[in-house]
Amino acid sequence: MAVDPHFRPLLDDPTTEFRVPPAQVTPAMLREAALARRPASTGPAVHATRDIAVRGAAGPITARLYYPSAAADLPLIVFIHGGCFILCDLDTHDELCRSLANASGFGVASIEYRLAPETRFPGPLEDCYAALVDLESRAAELGFDRSRLAVCGDSAGGNLAAAVALLARDRHGPRLRHQALLYPVIEAACDSPSMREFASGYLLSREFMRWGWDCYLSSKEDELHPLAVPLHAGSLAGLPPMTVITAECDPLRDEGEAYAERVAAAGVPVIGRRYLGMIHGFMSLPRITPVAERAIADVAQDLRAALC
């Protein structure tokens, strides 16, 4: 199936594709430029939001809490944003988190972990894990049910969410009831068939993804580290049930589906959904494609089945 025609105006604009910047443009400068172009948020209303300080690996970091209702003891989805390990923040994913909270009826805590290359692996991952542990310990005071936890992440955040689930298993940390990975970054080689087929012209480019890995990893050896590249984990048994969302016209499609197959082969219940005609990041583009809301509803349904 060809790319959904709703995306044609976006993809035909050469300024929208994620490309490696010139050498003189630092990641910090790239973030500033992206911030200057960012439109005002117009996400759906939720009952309440608030920003709080939570524990990170090297000091406090920020989490944004979303409450879809005034109900007590809400299940909690810990959300980890994408951005190729380099970009994005709480505001870029505010609309997606609001939609996820409303669709699921659960609380959402979005984590503002430290970004690469200023903080390389395992720093961002340890931030996310420390925040999960802190949120679980404070769940009652924050209005959440510590026994009903899930982790969710999109793109690079999907990588971090998968690794957080591995850490929670191996460190006997918070018990996660589900993990939802939205078109996740899983493999550092950037050489799958979909990575080659959709290398450019589909918003996320292969070269930008390679640059993201170069910024995130601390050494060449990290390309095989199971917490940096979950596809290389020796054992995937004992993980929480998983939802994996992939997009047909996404360079990351095949690695996400390969991870789903490996996790399922380890005996973990897995729901895999490929959305035809979609591109990377489509769930954050509800004003371009109605499939975004459908996919959010699908993920919310999986989370409700796991946490209710």
- Per the structure, the complete domain to which residue 22 belongs is given by 5-307
pTM over 0.85: yes
Residue reference for tokens 């995130």: 216
- Write out the two tokens for 72: 């007590």
Task: Output the domain CATH number for residue 164.
Answer: 3.40.50.1820
**Please, what's the b/e burial string for 118-129 (b: 16 or more CB within 10 A of its CB; e: otherwise)?**
ebbbbbbbbbbb
How many domains, in total, are found in the chain? 1
Sequential pLDDT tens for the chain (308 residues):
699 999 999 999 988 999 899 989 998 998 988 888 777 767 899 999 999 999 999 999 999 999 999 999 999 999 999 999 999 999 999 999 999 999 999 999 999 999 999 999 999 999 999 999 999 999 999 999 999 999 999 999 999 999 999 999 999 999 999 999 999 999 999 999 999 999 999 999 999 999 999 999 999 999 999 999 999 999 999 999 999 999 999 999 999 999 999 999 999 999 999 999 999 999 999 999 999 999 999 999 999 999 99
Q: How would DSSP label each residue in the chain? A: -PPPGGGHHHHT-TTSSB-PPPTTS-HHHHHHHHHHHPPPP-PPP-SEEEEEEEE-SSSEEEEEEEESSS-SSEEEEEEE--STTTS--TTTTHHHHHHHHHHHTSEEEEEEPPPTTTS-TTHHHHHHHHHHHHHHHTHHHHTEEEEEEEEEEETHHHHHHHHHHHHHHHTT-S-EEEEEEES----TT--SHHHHHTSSSSSB-HHHHHHHHHHH-SSGGGGG-TTTSGGG-S--TTPPPEEEEEEEE-TTHHHHHHHHHHHHHTT--EEEEEEEEEETTGGG-TTT-THHHHHHHHHHHHHHHHH-
Catalytic residues: 155, 250, 280
